[in-house]
Structure 1
């Protein structure tokens, strides 16, 4: 059996659409239909119930999913381990702008680039909301995405987000909390505002910056407070743990997400490398 049939099957089961699967796989819809028909004939089972506008996986199709996934993973790992020279091209990855992650990420890249010399890596650091947009637009191949309060992706680790302040900071006399935050759709900023408003605490955004370094510099000077992952709370700031002063914050998860297309072998290999490195933290 050709592994391309299983890859096509998993893509259709994920998208629930022959046309969308064709787009992901960069083939025609008729090719997808032909490959599914070949797989059904080989197995002697109907895998999808088709209509003109949609398709629905059958019980036999659902039972096949874990088997197909294991086969493809084993084949991919075999090819990458025994013929790493076959991997080539550029993998574009998005990562959070969290300083404490760059050391393990760089160490992981050292081994990846040495083992797979034909693969170039382009890294874009920034907000998770921007990475999700770029994944949808196919400007990224994969991304390490932080989500507050849960994740829909492959979770690698969970981490607290915490309030940070300068060493001389004290609660303001007028009760209005001054915030510093990364500009744009920052999930930490939204979590901070939600926590303050649920407690009925007034606030104002005193400072915003496109860089976490800029936010940290303002916090160090005592001009405002902010929220970061606990791993980034060691840059000359202190964690405010007293919940009588500031409300509790939710945790955050870090997971891997792929673009809306079939990942390349190089992208999958890089994802496994990143997952292995971050799991050790």
Structure 2
């Protein structure tokens, strides 16, 4: 069987659109339709329910997705083993711009590029919410995503502890209103802080809104506010607030690697394994 038929099938199953599948495969819509028709003839099964606007998998189509994925992945892994120079292309990867994550992950990405010089890598740092948007819009190929509260998915790489940070000499305010330093926008730390305070009926006020954690740390070090970060991000001049004290408990957070495509390329999966190895090693050393 021509494996290009299976690849076309998987792309169409992912997009549910002949036009999108054609764009991703860089072929015409009629070629996509012809390939799917050939595959259906070969298998003697109808794989899609077609309408004027979309196409949906039939029960046979859903069953084929699992088989086709295994076949394509096995072929790609065989090619990588016997012809590693086939690992080519350009990948755009999103990474949370937390300092304690960004440094080891970018070092791992540098090593990946040295080992696989025919794969170009562009790194984009940002908030998980922004990285998820970029994945949906297909502006990046894969990303390390932080979820708060932690998810229970099987593909979670590690669980992180969220903590309140304060200046060493900070004391709770007499009026009970919690002063906050927050990152602008839909930041996971911001959401965790506000949710914890509101769930415990604690009033709060925003002292400063920053575009990055660097500004947040500066305000906290000055004793003007408190903030939420991961335990690994605690730096000099700040400390974690004691558990069971004035500030409420926080949920955990989790890190996963997510792809723009349901059927990521061999290069994308190889890069994901490199990052996953770093994250799991960090967890084992913590």
1:166 maps to 2:132 = no
Tell me the SS of whatever aligns to 2:268.
helix
Question: 1:108-187 residue pairs with structure 2 within 5 A?
Answer: 108-150=108-150, 154-187=155-188
What is residue 35 of structure 1 aligned with on the other side?
Answer: 35
Question: 1:62: Cα distance to partner?
Answer: 1.9
Q: Is the 8 A contact 1:49 1:58 kept in 2?
A: yes
Alignment gaps of 5+ in structure 2 = none
Alignment check: 8 A CA contact 1:25 1:261 kept: no
What is the root-mean-square deviation in Å for CA atoms of aligned residues?
2.4
Go from structure 1 to structure 2 and tell me whether the alpha carbon gap of 1:55 and 1:120 turns closer, same or farther (over 3 Å shift).
closer
Report the secondary structure of 2:250's partner residue: coil
**SS of the counterpart of 2:95?**
strand
Distance 1:187-1:79 versus aligned 2 partners, 3 A rule: same
Bigger mean CA deviation after superposition, 228-237 or 164-173: 228-237
1:162-221 superposed Cα distances (whole Å, 9 cap, x missing partner): 211111112111111111122222121012112111222111111222221221222222
Offset of 1:234 from its aligned partner? 4.3
Between 260-269 and 130-139, report the one with greater CA deviation: 260-269
Separation in 1, partners of 2:261, 2:67: 23
Give the 3 Å change call, closer, same or farther, for CA 4–275 of structure 1 in structure 2.
Answer: farther
Counterpart position of 2:75: 75
Relative to the length of structure 1, the TM-score reads 0.88
Aligned pair in 2 of structure 1 residues 150, 8: CA closer, same or farther (>3 Å)?
Answer: farther
Aligned residue in 2 for 1:47: 47
CA separation of 1:114 and 1:70: change in aligned 2, threshold 3 A: same
| 1:127 Cα deviation from its structure 2 partner | 0.8
Matches within 5 A, 1:216-255: 216-255=217-256
TM-score normalised by L of structure 2: 0.87
Paired residues, number: 281
Q: Secondary structure at the match of 1:280?
A: helix
Call closer, same or farther: CA 1:263–1:172 in 2, change over 3 Å: same
User: For the residues of structure 2 that align with 1:31 and 1:235, how far apart are their CA atoms?
Assistant: 60
The question of whether the paired residues in 2 share the 8 Å contact of 1:180 and 1:208 is answered with yes
